[in-house]
Chain A
């Protein structure tokens, strides 16, 4: 009976440890996902601004010929 009790506790301890580890990994993955989406948004915004600025530079070239 005593051995069974100890075995039970050991099992619980082990599973709680692995669960915690998995949870930490999941959290980390979520954090990385958030960082990735932020990075993607920033990259998109940089491209948009770059394109628009280039468009304006083209317009200004036309103005210079006046």
Chain B
């Protein structure tokens, strides 16, 4: 009985000692981020105050008042943006919005998935541009041939226009290559994300 009591007390004690350490690790990181955010917002506020002071000195007519209003609105926007600052780089020390590590990870992988989907849409849109571009070049070539036959343009002009068409064709070929590369990369990225997700579930 005595041993059980001792063990129970020991566990309680360790729990009190142990948990704040883990909590404190996360908190110090959050504090750092908050400090950065505060610093940024202070800078913006200071800039804002200076701008408003400058504005006060200049205010004489109604038109100038309007300018002042616009400035303060801009500053307010800047302050709002800095408050919403989420920090760059990795997830270390970032406010995880009271989510557990796993939930945060899932949220992140979902965001990455959405980015990949966005990329796929971008690729499709670029493919449409490519198809349209080929068609537009074909039509331009036809027009150029017609102009040449009808002698509506000089030889120099024709050469210039041919060069333009040739350049555009080259660019389209480059785009074609890029699209192919990006398609392959997207496949790999999808696979990599799936693998990370599987590891996440383990």
Binding site for B on A (CB under 8 A): 2-3, 6-7, 10-11, 14, 18, 21-22, 24-25, 28-29, 31-36, 38-39, 41-43, 45-46, 48-50, 52-53, 55-57, 59-60, 62-64, 66
Please determine whether B119 and A32 come into contact, CB atoms closer than 8 angstroms. no
Q: Which label, helix, strand, loop or mixed, suits the secondary structure of the A interface?
A: helix
A-contacting residues, B113-134, CB 8 Å: 115-116, 118-119, 122-123, 125-126, 129, 132-133
Q: Are B6 and A6 in contact (CB under 8 A)?
A: yes
Known: A6-B6, A59-B168. A66 touches B199 (CB 8 A): no
Name 13 extra pairs, CB < 8 A, besides A29-B91, A35-B196, A59-B171.
A2-B3, A7-B6, A10-B10, A28-B105, A28-B200, A32-B104, A35-B105, A36-B91, A42-B119, A48-B178, A53-B125, A53-B126, A55-B171
A-B contact pairs, 29 of them (CB 8 A): A6-B3, A6-B6, A6-B7, A14-B14, A28-B102, A28-B105, A28-B200, A29-B91, A31-B196, A32-B91, A32-B101, A32-B105, A35-B109, A36-B89, A36-B90, A38-B112, A38-B196, A39-B108, A39-B111, A39-B112, A42-B189, A43-B115, A46-B115, A48-B178, A49-B122, A53-B126, A56-B129, A57-B129, A63-B168
